[in-house]
Amino acid sequence: MISEKIECIQGDITKISADAIVNAANSSLMGGGGVDGAIHRAGGPSILEECRKIVAKQGGCKTGEAVLTTAGDLPSRHVIHTVGPVWNGGTHDEEQLLANCYKNSLHLAADHQLRTIAFPNISTGIYGFPKDMAAAISVQTLNQILQTDNRIDKVFLVCFDDENYDLVTQELGK
């Protein structure tokens, strides 16, 4: 049984009102293309300012890990920046690293009393992770945590493209 707390929606994550939205960042935390570019553009410079402070303190963010900043001008309260794995044939621990992104982001939210959180399809754009595998990993990882940790009320999987939307919807129906 998949938790009813997980909901798949199609759209632009920068328009979502949640306690936190997750950014598919890179380890420099200095912005980039894809959803990362969209979040920094729509959220304004205060997000990058906080990222710079994190980099000064801890030197970036490793693959699979997550950090928290303001959401600046976005409708959400916080951005959780996580770094997905670059797909490299599947023999470089990519699946575990992607699962870690979902797990560490959810735990970081819960540790900050954030109860609603929206994820994009991490790694499935520029980083080239196969979308079907990524959909299964996202749903299974989130579901497993939500079965035992009740600090989170709602998780939105925000799919930008039709293919991810169809795959995640299918996965939720299993």
Enumerate the active-site residues.
36
Q: Which of 6, 20, 22, 35 binds ligand AR6 (CB under 6 A)?
A: 35
Provide, rounded to whole angstroms, the least separation between the CB of residue 138 and ligand AR6: 11
Cβ 17 to ligand AR6, closest distance in Å? 14
Return the ∠ at Cα 86 (arms to 61 and 101), rounded to 5°: 50
- Show contacts with ligand AR6 in window 118-157 (CB under 6 A): 120-127
Q: Does 45 bind ligand AR6 (CB under 6 A)?
A: no
CB of 135 to ligand AR6, least distance (A): 10
Report if residue 24 touches ligand AR6, rule: CB under 6 A: yes
Instruction: Please report whether residue 101 would count as binding ligand AR6 according to CB under 6 A.
Output: no
Candidate residues 119, 156, 160, 165; the one interacting with ligand AR6 per rule CB under 6 A:
160
Residues that bind ligand AR6 (CB under 6 A): 12-14, 24-26, 32-36, 38, 84, 120-127, 158, 160-161, 164
